[in-house]
Structure 1
Amino acid sequence: MRQGIRPDADSFVVAQVDGQPLQPRSLTHEWVRVLGKTSLPRIRFHDLAHATQMLSAGVHPKIASERLGHSNIGITLDLYSHVMPGMLADAAEQVDVALQAVISDNRKGK
């Protein structure tokens, strides 16, 4: 939105300059146009948002892959792994906690 237009509870998240709603096809056409100027693979805008939401929420990549209609999980991981670094750090932390518990138990003779 332009500076000076104050959004309120009825405002659209994505809108035209005058605050009116965008037509969904306008966003899709712009996405395809911008994507066409890059070497990125052609993916639907909806798939990008849905995949990002699922992976960020901790949905297993295999499940996300199936929901997106990808023929294999590698496609999903290749396209959306950028949203997973935090997930990888969380997994590493969980492994560390589990290992520390085993080490602690071994020191106590359990």
Structure 2
Amino acid sequence: MANKPRNKMSVSNRAKQFMPFSALSGFKEALEQVEIKKAREEKIELSQSQKERLNNIIKSLILNDEIKVEYYDGNKYQLITGAFKKIDEIYHNIYIGKEIISIELIKEIEVYY
């Protein structure tokens, strides 16, 4: 018996044979989520006296004061240093350089004189 001629495989079908294969679909994403949870810090709730102290510092700020702010970004605490620009009293935000930070997320403010 003679061999039957085979249909040629298209280029895209041949390429699919050599594409990477993930036996555990979704495993990589699940692993990334676990890593994010491990790296996540909990937000610290400030005492009333700490809030009052921060409020007094914020009230004393003058345009272009050089300040360092420690704030919670949703996963961990971040530090930012820059020139104080303004306070948005309606939305409770502080502007440092081009950054906007919610006052409720601030843990510490240091003013450089």
Q: Same fold (TM over 0.5)?
A: no
Larger helix percent: 1
Q: Which has the larger radius of gyration?
A: 2
Relative to the length of structure 1, the TM-score reads 0.26
Q: Which has the higher strand share?
A: 2
Q: What TM-score, normalized by structure 2, do the two folds share?
A: 0.26
Higher relative contact order (Cα pairs below 8 Å, separated by 6+ residues)? 2
